[in-house]
Structure 1
Amino acid sequence: MKYAYQKQLGRILIVLSIALILGVVATATFTATDVAFAQDGAAVTDTATAEPPTVTPTPIPPTSTSVVPTNTPTTPPPVQIPEPITVVLFGTGLAALSAAAAVRRKNQE
């Protein structure tokens, strides 16, 4: 009987591991909006113009009303929240430990 429980526990852990991996793959999303491939053409093409570019003056703000930035933030930083996969991995580990303890208690009887 001892071997049957260990075999069942092994199957449960394998199923949990596969479910965890599939959950990670299913939740991962990739966007290819900023990706350039080798076969793509140039993103910007240079064209020759007959006129030189016009100079646009940059306005300079007055010094009496300008605000000086500070290094100290006015609001406290947000509280760190763990990633969902970290919580799932931690819960899976706790479930495996409790299952192993239950099997050990059952075998001692």
Structure 2
Amino acid sequence: MNTIAKKTPLLLTSGLLFISATGLAAVNLDRTRLVYNAADKSTAITLTNESKTLPYLAQSWVEDDKGKKADEMLIALPPLQRIEAGDKSQVRIVKGVKGLC
């Protein structure tokens, strides 16, 4: 009985964290992956603020397969933007110039 009483707060807290994490997504992407052709100067992804009342800030960056920031070759522009309620915006991925980023 003691073991159940000790684990109950942990289980409740874990459950609440999962519920709140899924309920706060107001900015959605039009796709989950970008294909960047080497011949193109840039590619774009569309962000949509699904909230009817609140503006949101969207931060963009490029990561490698290990989750480390990788902006030497590709740059996300703009890196930070405000998206008004119900509006759409774009993030462009452009070729970077090594040494300038």
TM-score > 0.5 by shorter chain: no
- Choose between structure 1 and 2: higher strand proportion: 2
| Structure with greater proportional helix content | 1
Instruction: Compute the TM-score of the two structures, normalised by the length of structure 1.
Output: 0.27
